[in-house]
Structure 1
Amino acid sequence: MSESTESPGLPSRLLADPEMVAACRERDFAQIFQLAKHKGGFHPSRIARACELTPSRVGEVMKGRPKITNMSVIERIADGLKIPGRMLGLADRCWEQPAAPHEGAAVSADPVRVSWQAEGSPMRGNVDDILAIAAGTRVTPTVLRSLQVSIEDYWRRDDQHGGGALRPAVIGQLRYVAGAVRDTADPNCRRSLHGIAAELARLAGWTYFDARQYSTAQGYFTESLRFAREADDRLFIANVLACLSLQATYQDNAQGAIALARAAQDNARLGGGTPRLLAMLLMREAFGHASANDQEAARRAITEAHQRFERITEGDDDPAWVQYFDHTKLTVDTGIALGQMGEAIAAEPLIAEALRTESTTNLRGRAFHTFWLARTQLQRREVELACATATKALDLTAVVESPRVVAHLQEFRWLLGPYRSSASVVDLVDRITGIAR
């Protein structure tokens, strides 16, 4: 029988096999894939296509290296092989809707239900799902997916316009999810809700951090850590610690920033962190060292970050929230760290290169990076060029709300003090003073 005519998921007899049940319970994907191949007729290439993995990645997993721990990859495997969520410690998947039996058909006694009605889209809901969201009485797979999609949309809008206007909605949704956790008995569903609550709390903390309300931000980051620990998600714990490390840098707590970044790296390694994630965390450590003006330690962290980044492969199971850390982001962060240490000659071309290649949709990021380019140009005494660059950052503040960016521009106004005889400096200082009022 050709693959095109075979069942889209693992057969019921295999899902009920004690070896498969045990492998799923332990999330032993090497054994799961081996059983799928030898008892289910699923060759590695077919597993790869079904689970959106590369064949080489499947081969590595079947050899037991490395282990899969990323929740999004685990969910892809569950959906690709049609393994019921409860077997892998997940909430019921969206496709787990029992198909209506034909009239007169016998009901199967198989303890593992495998007759499912696939949905065309995970967002396709029904009246029950809508009412569940409104009343908060029942959390379904569709509700869980709706919450996750809303988080993705919040982050996109935060990048484009700032998070101030989003904050009430984010916090309201966080409270809804926290209430749903209390009202939900199913352990798999609770775990999914804890993960969603962790993401919402981190987003709330980020919006307060960007607003320079650091105490409130720390409260939400701490809440996010608690939810992530309940979800047993070490990688997300590392993510939140990275946020706290960055905030510590802004609060001139260099040693705290370094300690938090290192704790994040420890959690990432214990959770099977990818080279991309570890590179990002090492750059957060570099920021701390640069803030402490420890050039040797900063350069060591930067070098290790680049070495980690070079190890990235197509088959890495990167969490979705770290995929933003691409070569452009590594380049600009390196430039910023060097700029913090006053190494403007090395920093300026790196930041300029990143601005030429980075996405134009993240307006706050562009404003922030443009400020740092202006600052390195001013360090090189290119006053007119620095003012022209800073004006671009200033223009972006009209379309993106970010008190953090405004604070950087106020800092730039102070740095312009020795050059007040220049007409372009006077004009820029007046404009910055205007937005600061």
Structure 2
Amino acid sequence: MNDPLCGPCARASGFRKPIPEDFYEDADLRAALENYDFGPVFAAVRQHTGLTQLQLADLLGLSQGRISAVERGERRLINVRTAARLATVLRIPASLLGFPASHTVTGDVIDKEVSWLERRDFLSLVTAATLGSSLNPELARLGSLLPGQVEPVTRSRIGAADIDAIEAVTEGFRRSATAHGGGLCRAAALTQLHQVRRLEDAPCSPEIRTRLLVAIANLARIAGWHAYDVDDHDAARRLWTYALDTARRADDHPHAPGLTVHVLLNMAHQALHLERASEALHLVQLASATAANRKHPVSTVTQGYTSAILGCCRAALGEPEPTHRALGQALETYAAADPAATPPWTKFVTDVAIAGQQGYSLYLLSLSRPEFAPQAIEKLTSAATGYGAEYERTRALTLPPLASVQFQAGDIDAAVATGYDAVNAITGLSFTRGYARLRVLDTVAAPHHGKPEVAELREHIRTALTTAA
């Protein structure tokens, strides 16, 4: 219970009589406060203290018109900060307004934000959030009310449902990244990773333990890919290294070797992006050795993906014959794959993705051997037109290489059109990795700068690069 306003303080505030300690014991007032209906409260306070509407308005920091409207039942005061201020001035017990009774109300803020389980205007706020922010002023500060880092709930034991939840969240992060770029959910994925890591010490069966480790490793892999998407290469490598170590500790799980291979191939992908082809080749070779030396075989799709990345490495090194051998092996392996038997981290491997992998390898070859441009155009066009909205990031990354090989093949009109599409797609996503491919496109387009349409495209590319920087 808040202390009642003392006699001298009440008189200084314009009260003729102080508010007694039991003032809000009245059943009608308690019912009104429970519904945030301050009309009866204002009327009762004014009757008891002798305040006019104008005096009460000055005391509460409201307008006289608003006091009048509330008393007539035409307006409601549901803002939690306004309610806190009224509770302070009128000495309304905090518990009657849905605030925790153990917390005091000071000034116009609550010492501790009212629990969203206890606030009585929750449904009103949810309705406002659903229908539009103009309906409730609280929505403007929702960002400041989001929970920060919190201690995880102590678990006496974890089970299959907990692992299912981690896997579902990880899949959500993966889908968000492929559709919108990894920058959008990067912080959320890292926060989730920090939380689930703390479950490692929770009691569980050996089977659940290995599933947990695989789930954590895959979440770390996705978080690493998010970092890679925004060119935080150091963070990506640290996360992927952690994923490798965690997957290793789950070696008894049948999917652990395949996950380990995919993490290594992610690292190889990054090395290719950084133009470290020899390093990428070493990582692919390590992935192949890992797949061969684990007690559980990796999936057929994983084997095919390993060959595809090997083809990219050979292409980046300017080796046409080894490139074609690797791509042929990838196609042969993919053809034998059973989609129903593939783990979640291979879901991106579709016919469209396979065409994109082939096209990208041929594009890398074409940078030093332009005769490979026509083959690259066929594969990259198939990929660019085949990716749906759920793979918009991959489509965006496919467009600059496609425009580049179109320039090399002499199809200037198509190259310019694809180039504009590439800039618009990349700048519309939450990632920075695609800008490196725009720089290569600008270089490939340079010999055609004499054409006005090419000069305009290059200016468009440079504007995008400058803005991103």
1:243 aligns with: 266
Provide closer, same or farther for how the CA distance between residues 427 and 182 of structure 1 changes in structure 2, counting only shifts above 3 A: same
**Post-superposition shift, 1:350?**
1.3
Q: Secondary structure at the match of 1:325?
A: coil
1:320-339 paired onto structure 2 within 5 Å: 320-339=344-363
Which gives a bigger RCO, structure 1 or 2 (Cα 8 Å, sep 6+)?
1
**Post-superposition shift, 1:282?**
0.4
Match for residue 353 of structure 1 among 358, 369, 382: 382
- Name structure 2 gaps, 5 residues minimum: 1-149, 367-371
Provide closer, same or farther for how the CA distance between residues 362 and 313 of structure 1 changes in structure 2, counting only shifts above 3 A: closer
Match for residue 224 of structure 2 among 205, 217, 237: 205
Letter in 1 for 2:299: T
Range that drifts further, 363-372 or 322-331: 322-331
Q: Secondary structure at the match of 2:259?
A: helix
Does the 8 Å CA contact 1:136/1:176 hold for their aligned counterparts? no
1:293 aligns with: 318
1:135 aligns with: 153
- Name structure 1 gaps, 5 residues minimum: 1-131
Q: Deviations over 1:245-291 (max 9, x none)?
A: 11111222222212211222233344322322211110111111111
1:148 aligns with: 167
**Aligned mates of 1:273, 1:187 — CA distance in 2:** 22
Matched pairs, number: 305
Q: Deviations over 1:84-120 (max 9, x none)?
A: xxxxxxxxxxxxxxxxxxxxxxxxxxxxxxxxxxxxx
Q: Deviations over 1:210-254 (max 9, x none)?
A: 222222211111000001111111111011011011111122222
Provide closer, same or farther for how the CA distance between residues 218 and 278 of structure 1 changes in structure 2, counting only shifts above 3 A: same
Does the 8 Å CA contact 2:224/2:239 hold for their aligned counterparts? yes
1:16 aligns with: none
**Aligned mates of 2:232, 2:329 — CA distance in 1:** 32
2:86 aligns with: none
Q: Secondary structure at the match of 1:135?
A: coil
Match for residue 367 of structure 1 among 389, 392, 396: 396
TM-score, normalisation: structure 1: 0.66
2:302 aligns with: 277
**Aligned mates of 1:356, 1:366 — CA distance in 2:** 8
1:263 aligns with: 286
Match for residue 333 of structure 2 among 302, 305, 308: 308
Letter in 1 for 2:257: R
Q: Percent identity, please.
A: 22
**Post-superposition shift, 1:387?**
1.2
**Aligned mates of 2:435, 2:274 — CA distance in 1:** 16
Matched, 1:395 2:424: yes
Does the 8 Å CA contact 2:401/2:441 hold for their aligned counterparts? no
**Post-superposition shift, 1:193?**
2.0
1:425 aligns with: 454
Does the 8 Å CA contact 1:194/1:231 hold for their aligned counterparts? yes
Coordinate RMSD, CA, aligned? 2.0
**Which of the two has higher C-alpha Rg?**
2
Does the 8 Å CA contact 1:133/1:143 hold for their aligned counterparts? no
Q: Secondary structure at the match of 1:392?
A: helix
TM-score, normalisation: structure 2: 0.62
**Aligned mates of 2:243, 2:383 — CA distance in 1:** 31
Does the 8 Å CA contact 1:338/1:347 hold for their aligned counterparts? yes
Letter in 1 for 2:328: T
Q: Deviations over 1:5-55 (max 9, x none)?
A: xxxxxxxxxxxxxxxxxxxxxxxxxxxxxxxxxxxxxxxxxxxxxxxxxxx
Q: Deviations over 1:342-368 (max 9, x none)?
A: 110111111112223232321111111
1:187 aligns with: 206
Letter in 2 for 1:216: A
**Post-superposition shift, 1:434?**
1.9
**Post-superposition shift, 1:385?**
1.5
**Post-superposition shift, 1:425?**
1.7
Letter in 1 for 2:343: P
Does the 8 Å CA contact 2:258/2:299 hold for their aligned counterparts? no
2:244 aligns with: 225
